[in-house]
Structure 1
Amino acid sequence: MRQKVAVLGAGSWGTALSMVLDENGHEVRLWGNDPQQIKEINEQHTNEHYLPGAKLSESIVAYTDLKAAIDDADALLFVLPTKAIRVVAKEVASLLDGQTRPHLIHASKGLEQDTHKRISVIIQEEIPAEKYESLVVLSGPSHAEEVAKKDITTITAASQDEEDAGYVQKLFMNPYFRVYRNTDVIGVELGAALKNIIAVGAGALHGLGYGDNAKAALMTRGLAEISRLGIAFGADPMTFIGLSGVGDLIVTGTSRHSRNWRAGDLIGKGHDLDEVLNNMGMVVEGVATTKAAYELAQEKGIEMPITEAIYKVLYEKVDVKKAIEELMLREGKAEQSSQNVEKGSQSI
């Protein structure tokens, strides 16, 4: 069934998901706040800054007017930087009349600064439940550049209601874009957010010249940290060995497509964080998420040594090599314990 979908966020991922929706025969309205970018999408059918070389369908229509973009839409897809979610959700709430109740979907990955809240929680706080039909998280291992080329991609639609997740699954599924259902919203969102931290670290290792051994160590122990924090907040441990856990960690922690990896690589090569962020041209979610996760772990008393080390490099200007040495010389521990894993123990 053809649906009207407003995609809120005209960055690389929002544009790539718009292309999938259009490919599936849906009416796509792509919203952004940069008039020049919106003009380029409508007239040139390109989005060169965010998705170089991709040609968009002429049937994808871009808007700067949020009201016009969401008017009578069946679904609203939030694909925005985490820091913009609350502001845009609040504006969306003021525009929804409660008569047409759209499905809400978000495909953003991060934690809100200061509050440390997940994105679905932010949306629920700003948009009254009576104004929307459902809220589903769309997440998993996916580079926008590869989706735009129709490379095979698999991701997860997460909702406590499987029927709602099924709606999103049908909306996006096609021969190159496969969607699985999941009921663990907490695990999917935390896996998506926290893997960006490890990706920054993986990039830094590359920038320093370390090899595959170091990369494997970082990603494996990084996944243990992600799982530990997630389990402490009620996530299903199995989620972290799925698409939005280890899958997303692999794709983000090993590829130059990942802006988090690229930022870490430059930091490893000696570039200053402010310089890296100013020259990236896109939001590097892992930097802000590192601070949020570090503060959350401190608040809850959860041991996350890799996250702490990356935090010190990013926010306390600790030398990367010194941070690595401190990690390597920590007290020796057992790799795993089934009892500890179940409880999210600090001793893992």
Structure 2
Amino acid sequence: MGLAVAVLGAGAYGTALAQAAAHAGHRVRLWSIEAPVLAEIAAQRRNSAYLPGVRLHRRVRPCAEMAEAVQGAALVLVAVPSRVVREVVRRAAPLLRPGQAVANAAKGLEEATGLRMSQVLEQELPEELREAIATVGGPAIAREMARRRPTALVAAARDPEVAALVRTCLENAWVRVGLSRDVIGVEISATLKNAYAIALGLCDGLGLGANVKATVASLCLAEMAETVVCLGGRRDTAFGLAGLGDLLATGYSPHSRNRTLGEKLGRGEDWQAFLASNTVEGPPAVEGCLRLARALGLHLPVLEALHSLLFEGAEPRPTLRALLERASLPA
């Protein structure tokens, strides 16, 4: 029969995670506030608003009521944008019981507080559930994972048994899940890759070629590793699935919204209109991570350049040229 798994959020990533869990043999309840999305899943086994062309497994059951979705679930996956994680978890908290685990799949910091998502969960969940918190990272372009393309994720938790539960719920014939105790490293890497994907898209938009993009990617990875270590994570996490892996997927995929934002910026297109009509985690990640970096006394030239482009009106080509001329090269 498998386990009961709840997924809160029926966007592209949440639906892809639900698809993975269903194909792993579990009974999945997919919750959303979007009634048309739930109705289409119930009637046609499709979520054309977020994952067009994908037929969902029969074990994915849409739920309009959060209480129904989380009741008896071994694992509750929170797969909503980082800006609403606190609101969703606060709503779910009274419905949860001891023995359930909660895993965050959002990749970002809370804008108002600068907290990582697991820290938000710790504040909102009952005390008896705070050791059963995990985070999910890694290169997971939703439309690829939902179409059964080979995908590797990482589940991080202080308690190895909680991370192992996430693996049990998601691992199937095409999804593998690595385990980690480095919650800080996974979350900071996952957040920064959204920011740095904008820089890689900028290289595409300016038409600067593979050499420049590879150089910028190397600078981004060096900054990511330094930040992770200074915040208490492990350097090797930045070079694993949650860091380098996710940076490559997000920074090179044509389906990445963060990369597309950077590309539009480089081409001189209306990137602000794109930002207004899409959920893009990169810009708030730039602000949040730069605040953390400055508090630690870190000098992160790529992040500073992104901030000047997104929030200070800097011009793309001279900004990138200055970065390439002045930044220390990670030899």
Larger CA deviation: 308-317 vs 161-170: 161-170
C-alpha separation between the residues in 2 aligned to 1:218 and 1:66?
43
2:240: which partner in 1?
242
Q: Secondary structure at the match of 2:112?
A: coil
Cα–Cα, structure 1 residues 333 and 53, in superposed 2: closer, same or farther, change >3 Å?
closer
Gaps of 5+ in 1: 337-348
Count of aligned pairs: 331
2:133: which partner in 1?
135
C-alpha separation between the residues in 2 aligned to 1:52 and 1:64?
21
2:192: which partner in 1?
194
C-alpha separation between the residues in 1 aligned to 2:131 and 2:5?
14
2:304: which partner in 1?
308
Equivalent of 2:215, from 203, 217, 227? Answer: 217
Shift of 1:272: 3.2
Cα–Cα, structure 1 residues 18 and 247, in superposed 2: closer, same or farther, change >3 Å?
same
Q: Which amino acid aligns with 2:282?
A: G
Does residue 335 in structure 1 map to residue 318 in structure 2?
Answer: no
1:270: which partner in 2?
268
Alignment of 1:114-125 (within 5 A): 114-125=112-123
Q: CA offsets, 1:171-200, max 9 Å, x none?
A: 222221111111111101111110111101
Q: Secondary structure at the match of 2:249?
A: helix
Shift of 1:257: 1.7
Q: Which amino acid aligns with 1:93?
A: A
2:147: which partner in 1?
149
Q: Secondary structure at the match of 1:13?
A: helix
2:319: which partner in 1?
323
Does residue 284 in structure 1 map to residue 280 in structure 2?
Answer: yes
Q: Which amino acid aligns with 2:58?
A: E
Q: Which amino acid aligns with 2:110?
A: E
C-alpha separation between the residues in 2 aligned to 1:61 and 1:112?
30
Shift of 1:132: 6.2
C-alpha separation between the residues in 1 aligned to 2:160 and 2:203?
40
Shift of 1:275: 0.9
Q: CA offsets, 1:6-60, max 9 Å, x none?
A: 1001011110111111111111000111111111111121111211100112331
8 Å Cα contact 2:222/2:330 also seen in 1: no
C-alpha separation between the residues in 2 aligned to 1:114 and 1:14?
24
1:208: which partner in 2?
206
Q: CA offsets, 1:236-264, max 9 Å, x none?
A: 11111111111111111111121111111
Larger CA deviation: 269-278 vs 207-216: 269-278
Q: Which amino acid aligns with 2:12?
A: S
1:74: which partner in 2?
74
Q: Percent identity?
A: 36
Q: CA offsets, 1:51-75, max 9 Å, x none?
A: 1100112331112211121122221
C-alpha separation between the residues in 2 aligned to 1:321 and 1:114?
31
2:15: which partner in 1?
15
Give the TM-score taking structure 1 as reference length: 0.91
Q: CA offsets, 1:314-346, max 9 Å, x none?
A: 11111111211221332x74636xxxxxxxxxx
Q: Which amino acid aligns with 1:90?
A: R
Give the TM-score taking structure 2 as reference length: 0.96
C-alpha separation between the residues in 2 aligned to 1:27 and 1:247?
29
Q: Which amino acid aligns with 2:43?
A: E
Cα–Cα, structure 1 residues 334 and 30, in superposed 2: closer, same or farther, change >3 Å?
closer
8 Å Cα contact 2:7/2:29 also seen in 1: yes
Q: Which amino acid aligns with 2:299?
A: E
Cα–Cα, structure 1 residues 163 and 131, in superposed 2: closer, same or farther, change >3 Å?
closer
Q: Secondary structure at the match of 1:52?
A: strand
Q: Which amino acid aligns with 2:298?
A: I
Q: Which amino acid aligns with 1:27?
A: R
Q: CA offsets, 1:264-303, max 9 Å, x none?
A: 1111111233212134xx4111111111112221222111
Cα–Cα, structure 1 residues 79 and 334, in superposed 2: closer, same or farther, change >3 Å?
closer
